[in-house]
Amino acid sequence: MTLLLVIIDALVPIAFVILLGVLAGRSGLIAPSVGGAFSVAVLDFCLPAQLFNATATMSTTGLPDWQFCVAIAIGLLAVYLVALGLALTLFHRTVDASSLQALNASFPNVAFIGIPVLTAVIGKSAVIPAVVGILISSLLLPPITLVLLAAGSPEQKGHTGVALIWGSVLGAVKQPLIWAPVLGIVFVLAHIPLPDVAQKSLTLIGEATSGLALFAMGLLLSGQKLRASGAVWLNVVFKNLAQPGAMWLLGLLLGVTGEHLRAMVLMGALPTAPATAMFAMKYNVYTDESEATILLSTVACVLTLGAIIALTG
């Protein structure tokens, strides 16, 4: 019962902020269309500031071994690529919509739910693996998605081959979500300290990421009906069941054991991150499905995450 209460305790604040967004939209206080502007604020300002601050101030001591990092990276990427292939071939979606379907099926909500759940289940020692999981997932999946979103944009229509790839990569690199954490890593490698006032400034805007993203998602939901299509249910199965299975298998193959193995499996079992809806709103593609996937995977994780906690105990 205690573990169930831990999971519910992590989910209730998320549901509360989403509900506030829904009420704001339904009452007419804020137009649902404003959610698109909020998504730009999250992806271009709040989240990049958060990632830069996290990378520029991270310590290289006490980090998990390379097997842990590689296993998480491969586990995230494997589910993403399988989901991407199914979106393109089975559902016949465009490249940009397929990239968002893949992101919904593979991007775990480590930042909002992962840390409280992992520390409650494993202990304070799970904080560092959780932070590493946040950095790996944020530095791996969103950049790939941005490249594919750029490839499917109207600006790239008519381009083929090298021109298409180069244009897509160049368009993605210009995004703050890409260069901000890379710049943070440069700061660490060059041993450039980040002044306290800079850290406080970045923290102030970075902490708005989760609340603003969830509120914007509620705004968008207030103007539409929830549609749970076959693709949405497949996303939930991939995210809540297939990904923790992949993490477990990869962890065993690469020799990850003990608390680190349990941490990566639990991270894989977390629901879809709200950032996927921000991408959908900003690029106006796969919006309904993203919202439905986030809500359904979050609700379903009360059962799936509880079961996986029991199985890995």
Concatenate the DSSP letters of all residues of 134-164 into one string.
Answer: HHHHHHHHHHHHHHHHHHTSGGGTT--HHHH
Residues 173-225: pLDDT tens digits? 677 877 888 888 889 888 899 999 999 999 999 888 878 877 887 887 776 67
Residue 84 has a pLDDT of 96
Q: Report CA-CA distances (Å) from 82 to 42, 125, 277.
A: 28, 32, 20
Looking at residue 173, its pLDDT comes to 62
The pLDDT, as a whole number, for residue 126 is 75
Query: Of all helices (H) and strands (E), which one includes residue 197?
Result: helix 196-206
Core vs surface per residue 162-195: b (16+ CB within 10 A) or e = eebeebbbebbeebbbbebbeebeebbeeeeebe
Instruction: Using pLDDT thresholds of 50, 70 and 90, give the confidence band for residue 51.
Output: confident
| 118 compared with 284, residue with greater pLDDT | 284
Give the mean pLDDT of 11-31: 86
Residue range 2-312, CATH number: 1.20.1530.20
pLDDT in tens, 257-282: 888 999 999 999 998 988 888 888 88
Tokens describing residue 264: 């990566």
* pLDDT at residue 167, rounded to an integer: 54
Q: What is the pLDDT of residue 61?
A: 66
What is the predicted pLDDT for the residue at 22?
86
What DSSP line would sit under 97-146, residue for residue?
HHHHHHHHHH-B-IIIIIHHHHHHHT-GGGHHHHHHHHHHHHHHHHHHHH
- pLDDT exceeds 90 at position 237: yes
What gap in Å lies between CA 280 and CA 288, rounded to an integer?
9
Would you state the pLDDT for residue 63?
66
Predicted TM-score (pTM) of the model is 0.77
Q: What is the pLDDT of residues 125-170, one digit of tens each?
A: 776 787 788 888 887 888 888 888 877 665 555 444 445 555 555 6
3-state secondary structure of 289: helix
Higher pLDDT, 215 or 313: 215
% of the chain with per-residue pLDDT over 70? 88
Least trusted range by pLDDT, from 13-27, 65-79, 100-114, 213-227: 213-227
State residue 108 phi and psi, 5-degree precision: -80, 150
The per-type count for the chain, helices as H runs and strands as E runs, is 16, 0
State residue 161's pLDDT score. Answer: 45
Q: 240 versus 3: which is more confidently predicted?
A: 240
Amino acid 155: pLDDT: 56
Alpha carbon 12 to its chain's center: 19
Phi, psi at residue 272, to the nearest 5°?
Answer: -65, 140
Residue type, 278: M
Domain ranges of the chain: 2-312
